Amino acid sequence: MLRNITNFFRLIYILWQFIRYDVLYPATWTKGFKFVYFSLKLARYFRNRKYDSLRWGQRIALALVKLGPSFIKFGQTLATRSDLIGDDVATDLTLLQDRLDPFSFKESKNIIENETGMPINELFSSFDEKPAAAASIAQVHYATTMNGEDVAVKILRPQIENAFASDLSLFKWVAKILENYISRTKRLQPVKVVQIFANTIGLEMDMRMEAAAAAELAKNFEGDPDFKVPQIFWETTTKRVLTIERLSGCRPDDIVSLEKAGHDPSKILQKSACIFFNQVFRDGFFHADMHPGNVFVTEDGKIAPVDFGIMGRLDLETRFFLADMLTGFLTRDYKKVAEVHFRAGYVPPDQSLEVFSQACRSIGEPILGLPLSEISLAKLLSQLFSITEKFEMETQPQLLLLQKTMLVAEGVGRQIDDRVNIWELARPLIEEWMITYRSPPARIQKISAELLTLAERIPKIIQNSELIINQASHGGLQLHTDTIERYIEFNRGKRSILRWPAILFSITVGILIGMLIR
C-alpha cells in the first residue's frame, strides 16, 4: 500500500515535468478519452515555452535528463525501440547526453579507499581532483599509477544503487498496470522489457563486469593492427572502481583534427567498417555504444573505444539469420527474407508467407532503390521492426540493440564521408564469412557435426531408456494426474487406429523429459 502511494506521487512529479517540457502533446492516443485529452491540452499552458522550437524527441530527452540517471538510461534503452517510438524520436534519444553534475573529490577518494583498502596516495602518484567526465552512473578522473602509467579511473556514483532501485520499482509498477489493463501492450511485454533493463543496469553498476567486457573484446582482437582496447588495471579495479589505460586521440567525426594528425578519413572509415563487421559476425560480441564521444582515433591510426558499459551479443544462429535476411534484402529476394523469419520462429506459422513477403518488399524497395551511398541497413531493420504488430512478430532485443548500433555507425560514417556506404566497404568480409559458414559445403559440415553429437548421446539415451523400463517394471514410475486425464480425454475423443501409437509416443516423450529434468 505504501509503495503504491509513493509511486503515485512520484508519477505526479514525472507528469509535471512532462508537462513543463511539453512531452505529452500531441497526445493523439488519448482522443478516445475526451476528459484526459482536453486535460492534457489545457495543461500545455503550463509548458516552458523556450522549448517550443525543439522536436518532440529532443523535448523528451531533456525531460529524461531532468528526471535523473534512471530515466536517462531508460531513454537510451528506448532509443533501440524505433518500432515503438518511431525513427525520428529514436534518433533524438540516441543522441541523449549522458552528463550530470559531478560529485566531490572527497567522495571519489572515500570510494576508492573503501573499495581497495588502501590510501589513494599509495595507489596513484598523481590523481586529478577535477573529473574529466561525469555521467549518470559514474564519473572519470585522470591519474598516474605508481609505475608512471597514465590511467582513467571510473568511479560509481555514491548511493546510485538506491536511486536506481527506487525508480526500477516505479517502472515495474507501471509496466504491470499496462500489461494487466491495456491489452494492446501485452505483445510488447512491458514487464519483461523493464526486467531486461533492470538486469542491464545491474551489470553496468558493477565495474568488474565492464572490465571483463573490455578484456573479452581485447582478446577477440588480439594482434589486430587497426583496433586497440585499453589495458585493464585489475589491481585497482573493484565493484565500484574501474581503472583502465588512458588513451588520447581524435574523435572519429572531427575531420579537421583527423587530417591535421595525418589520418586519411576514408581509411578510418574502412577500418571502422571491418571492425564493426568482425564484432557482429565473426565474434557475436559487439560494442553497442560506439558514438563519437566513446571512441578515439589514436596517434598511430587505431580505432580505440573507451567505454564498455553497453555490449551486445548474438549467438551463431542469430548471426546466420541476420546474414541470410540481409542477403535476401540486398538481392531483393523477398520470399527468402520471409522464409528466414518463419524458419527462425520470429513470425508465427499461422501467418501468411506470401503476405509477409509482400510486406518485406514494401520495406525494401524504397530503401534499396536509393543511391548506394544513401542505403541504410539500420533504417531497413527499423522498418522491418515496425511491422511486428501486424504479423505478431516476437520482439528480438538483441537485434534492436544491433539496429541502434548500426544507426550510430552509419551516422558517423556519413559524417566522415557522405559519398561512401560503410556496408559496401565491409562487403568482401561479408562474402568471405558467408562462404565460410553459409555455403552448401559449410552447411553439410554443420549437419555432420550435429549428427556426430547426436550419435555420441545415443548410449546415454539407451541407458536412460533401460532405467525407465526397470522403474516401470517395479512400479517406480508415476505419471502426473493431469497427464492421465489428458490421455483419457484423448481416448474418448479419438477413434483413429493411430491413437495408441500417438499415446505411447507422448508417454515416451513425457518420460524422457522427466528423466532429463531429474
Q: Residue 166 and residue 148: Cα distance in Å, rounded?
A: 41
Identify the pLDDT of residue 466. Answer: 67
Query: What is the bridge-based pairing of β-strands 285-287 and 311-313?
Result: antiparallel
The answer to whether 83 and 400 are in contact (CB under 8 A) is yes
Identify the pLDDT of residue 470. Answer: 67
The answer to whether 125 and 144 are in contact (CB under 8 A) is yes
Identify the pLDDT of residue 500. Answer: 43
Task: Please state at what angle helix 427-438 crosses helix 316-330, rounded to 10 degrees.
Answer: 120
Identify the pLDDT of residue 233. Answer: 97
Active site residue 289: yes
Identify the pLDDT of residue 114. Answer: 95
Buried-exposed string 136-148: b where 16+ CB fall within 10 A, e elsewhere: bbbbbbbbebeee
Tell me which DSSP letter residue 264 carries.
-
pLDDT digits (tens, 9 = 90+) for 48-72: 888 888 888 889 888 988 888 888 8
Catalytic position from the list 83, 98, 289, 324: 289
Identify the pLDDT of residue 511. Answer: 40
Identify the pLDDT of residue 178. Answer: 81
Identify the pLDDT of residue 246. Answer: 95
- Give backbone dihedrals phi and psi of 152, rounded to 5 degrees, phi first: -115, 130
In this structure, what C-alpha cell is assigned to residue 169? 520499482
Identify the pLDDT of residue 417. Answer: 79
Task: Please state at what angle helix 160-181 crosses helix 69-78, rounded to 10 degrees.
Answer: 50
Question: DSSP secondary structure string, 187-207?
Answer: GG-HHHHHHHHHHHHHHHT-H
Identify the pLDDT of residue 175. Answer: 86
Question: DSSP secondary structure string, 224-257?
Answer: -TTB--PPB-GGG--SSEEEEE----B-TT-HHH
Identify the pLDDT of residue 24. Answer: 79
Residue 313: strand, helix, or coil: strand
Identify the pLDDT of residue 93. Answer: 80
Q: Which residue has the cell 566497404?
A: 425
Residues 6 or more apart whose CB falls under 8 angstroms from that of 178 comprise: 185, 190
Q: How high is the mean pLDDT in each 10-residue block of the chain (518 residues)?
A: 78 88 69 68 82 87 86 77 70 71 93 95 95 89 96 94 86 85 70 79 88 96 94 96 94 88 90 91 89 87 90 89 85 91 88 92 86 78 78 75 80 79 77 75 70 75 70 58 55 46 42 40
Whole-angstrom Cα Rg for the chain: 27
Residue 85: strand, helix, or coil: helix
The answer to whether 257 and 189 are in contact (CB under 8 A) is no
Q: Residue 337 and residue 329: Cα distance in Å, rounded?
A: 7
pTM: 0.74
